[in-house]
């Protein structure tokens, strides 16, 4: 089962992704938690200490391996380099969770990103097509990741929205680009819902058959974001709020 979690910055997509990783790993499934967001927030949400995360080299920075697998710096590169042997070697293991950090985009004025993108896509393809496990990808905010095709081949694209026009508009763009990539199932999760008016706002903009469910605003989740070392996956009330959505996902795939 392969899931990508997307949405506008600040809507809570990393929080939702971390909760789903926790829930699926709790039923004895091995879960690959893929941090494809340059901000690298998924590790903290899963309770992985910063000092451990900082020692994990981002896959996009593995230049020598990238060039070796893609044909060298001065030659044409293959779009499907063999990388199956690196998947488990560059993970942080936490119980049933295998955390991978993809790494950020290049700085302005640097060389072409094509080789690294081919390598990332190969890793994503290996995880999305060859592993009989659960894969949860926390995508970068907005739509840039979809323009690079990083999420191609997922079973389900989850778009997290909050009650607001900017969030809804971004979700519409994600749906369009996902369809262009051949992602057949795109579903919406309404997050940070405080009252009936906000729920109705989300319902107004998306068909009911696209909505997996709603997650209520949780003061404990907000407070945890201000506490060093706190992890969203320790908030049992919030996880219970996500169990219904987890079941809907299982029914969808």
> Which residue from 3, 23, 7 is spatially nearest to 155, judged by alpha carbons?
3
Most confidently modeled of 12-21, 63-72, 220-229, 235-244? 12-21
Tell me the three state secondary structure of residue 154. coil
User: Over the stretch 13-25, which tens digit does the pLDDT of each residue have?
Assistant: 999 999 999 999 9
Task: Evaluate if residue 159 carries a pLDDT over 90.
Answer: yes
The sign of the torsion formed by the CA atoms of 129, 130, 134, 137 equals negative
List the single range of 102-111, 155-164, 197-206, 212-221 with lowest mean pLDDT.
102-111
Give helix 236-252 / helix 13-25 axis angle, nearest 10°: 80
User: Over the stretch 165-191, which tens digit does the pLDDT of each residue have?
Assistant: 999 999 999 888 888 888 889 999 999
Q: What is the mean pLDDT of the chain?
A: 80
CB 46 within 8 A of CB 97: yes
What the chain holds in terms of domains, given with CATH numbers, is 2-252 (3.40.50.300)
Strand-pair partners of 186 = 157
DSSP 64-101: HHHHHHHT-TTS---SS---GGGTTTT-EEETTEEEEE
User: Over the stretch 196-230, which tens digit does the pLDDT of each residue have?
Assistant: 999 999 999 999 899 999 998 877 676 666 555 55
CA distance 104 to 169: 24
């Amino acid at each position: 089962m392969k899931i990508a979690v997307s949405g506008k910055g600040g809507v809570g997509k990393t929080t939702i992704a971390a909760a789903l990783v926790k829930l699926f790993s709790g039923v004895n499934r091995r879960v690959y938690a893929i941090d494809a967001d340059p901000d690298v927030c998924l590790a903290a949400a899963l309770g992985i200490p910063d000092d451990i995360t900082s020692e994990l080299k981002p896959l996009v920075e593995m230049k020598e391996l990238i060039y070796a697998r893609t044909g060298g710096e001065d030659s044409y590169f293959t779009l499907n380099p063999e990388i199956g042997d690196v998947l488990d070697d560059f993970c942080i293991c936490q119980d049933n969770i295998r955390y991978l950090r993809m790494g950020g985009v290049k700085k302005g004025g640097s060389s072409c990103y094509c080789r690294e993108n081919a390598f990332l896509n190969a890793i994503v393809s290996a995880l999305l097509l060859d592993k009989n496990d659960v894969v949860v990808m926390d995508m970068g905010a907005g739509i840039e990741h979809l323009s690079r095709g990083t999420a191609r081949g997922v079973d389900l694209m989850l778009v997290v929205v909050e009650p607001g026009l900017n969030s809804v508009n971004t979700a519409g763009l994600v749906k369009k680009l996902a369809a262009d990539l051949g992602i057949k199932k795109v579903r919406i999760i309404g997050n940070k819902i405080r009252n009936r008016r906000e729920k109705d706002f989300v319902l107004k903009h998306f068909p009911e058959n696209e909505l997996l469910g709603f997650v209520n605003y949780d003061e404990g989740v907000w407070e945890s974001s201000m506490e060093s070392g706190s992890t969203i996956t320790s908030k049992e009330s919030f996880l219970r709020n996500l169990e219904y959505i987890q079941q809907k996902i299982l029914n969808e795939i």
